[in-house]
Each structure stands twice: as structure tokens, then as C-alpha cells.
């Protein structure tokens, strides 16, 4: 079941985002440097409609999609590692597509973790660019993907 997240869910969503990022084996000092991007505050939830997927009172994933005219941006899409591979990510992505369409967007854009790029491509997105994201002197890039909604 997908429900709108409430400000009281901020801690749960933050813990889930951190767990999902750790799933990819990133060093803990990188996780610490990404803390702001992985932290969901009550104020953020009040300002940005965020939706959480629940199974038996456990939050198994969440997404935030921001619609700005003809383009919508997937701000967050995280799945609890124990729930990965069970369709939760697909369900949330399709839910985000619905929000974007309802808001009049013609495409949904995501700046993805490199490990999640294949997931988005599998769901119909295509890569149209990349954003530099170096860490510790290593050259890294985040793929920019988009899915048409028409």
C-alpha cells in the first residue's frame, strides 16, 4: 500500500534512504558526506509530497516527485534492501509517473545513483547526460535519465 508520508515518518524514511545507499557498498565516510541528501526532515515532508510503500506496518520504500511544468523530477526513490527485487521500486516508479502525468508533465527526469541506472532503463528511461560527482579524487558521474510520459 502506498500512502502519503507524514512529517512523523521523517526518521523512518531517513533510515531507509541510508540503508539503501549502504546496500551498494559505499564507504561509510561517503555515506556521512551524503547525509544531507539522504536525510528527510519533517519540514521537507511538509513542503514536498512524498509517498511511502508499506507492507505489514513496515516502510519498504518511498518516493518524492516534483512537478514543474512539462518536466517532473524524481527527487527520491529508495527501497529497503530486504525488499529489493520484489517489485517495490517498480511500484513506486509507476506511482511517481502517475503523479507526474496528473501534474501535466511530459517527462520524468532522474539523476540516478550509478548502481540504479539499469533499473530505470529497464522501466523505460533513457540516459541523456551525466553530472560530475567526484569523491576522494575519483572521477565519478551520476547518470541523468528521462522517461517520456506521453
For the chain, which residues make up each domain, given as ranges? 2-148
pLDDT at 2: 96
Instruction: Print burial letters for 69-81: b (CB count within 10 Å at least 16), e (below 16).
Output: eebbbbbbbbbbe
What is the model's pLDDT at position 27? 87
> What is the three-class DSSP state of 66?
strand
So what's the pLDDT on residue 76? 96
Q: Does domain 2-148 have CATH number 3.20.20.70?
A: no
Give mean pLDDT, residues 112-129.
Answer: 96
**Taking residues 119-124, what's their average pLDDT?**
97
Rounded Cα gap, residues 6 and 34, in angstroms: 23
Task: Write the DSSP assignment of 118-139 as a string of letters.
Answer: HHHHHTT-EEEEEEE--BTTB-
Rg over alpha carbons for the chain, rounded to the nearest Å, is 15
The CA-atom distances, in angstroms, between 76 and each of 10, 56, 65, 114, 137 are 13, 22, 7, 14, 26
Tell me the pLDDT tens digit for each residue of 8-54.
999 999 999 999 999 998 989 999 999 999 999 999 999 999 999 99
Give the residue-averaged pLDDT of 48-72: 95
Instruction: Give the confidence band of 137 by pLDDT, cuts at 50, 70, 90.
Output: confident
pLDDT at residue 107 greater than cutoff 90: yes
Checking if the pLDDT of 121 tops 90, the result is yes
H or E segment at 65?
strand 58-68
- Contacts for 85 with CB less than 8 Å, ≥ 6 apart: none
Other beta carbons within 10 Å of 146 = 21
Amino acid at each position: 500500500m502506498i500512502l502519503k508520508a507524514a512529517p512523523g515518518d521523517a526518521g523512518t524514511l531517513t533510515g531507509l534512504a541510508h540503508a539503501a545507499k549502504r546496500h551498494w557498498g559505499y564507504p561509510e565516510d561517503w555515506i556521512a558526506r551524503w547525509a544531507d541528501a539522504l536525510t528527510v526532515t519533517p519540514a521537507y515532508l511538509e513542503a514536498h509530497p512524498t509517498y511511502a510503500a508499506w507492507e505489514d506496518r513496515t516502510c519498504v520504500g518511498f518516493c518524492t516527485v516534483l512537478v514543474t511544468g512539462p518536466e517532473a523530477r524524481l527527487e527520491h526513490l529508495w527501497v529497503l534492501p530486504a525488499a529489493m527485487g520484489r517489485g517495490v521500486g517498480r511500484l513506486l516508479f509507476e506511482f511517481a509517473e502517475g503523479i507526474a502525468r496528473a501534474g501535466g508533465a511530459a517527462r520524468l527526469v532522474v539523476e540516478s545513483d550509478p548502481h540504479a541506472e539499469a533499473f530505470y532503463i529497464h522501466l523505460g528511461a533513457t540516459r541523456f547526460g551525466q553530472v560530475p560527482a567526484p569523491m576522494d579524487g575519483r572521477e565519478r558521474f551520476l547518470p541523468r535519465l528521462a522517461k517520456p510520459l506521453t
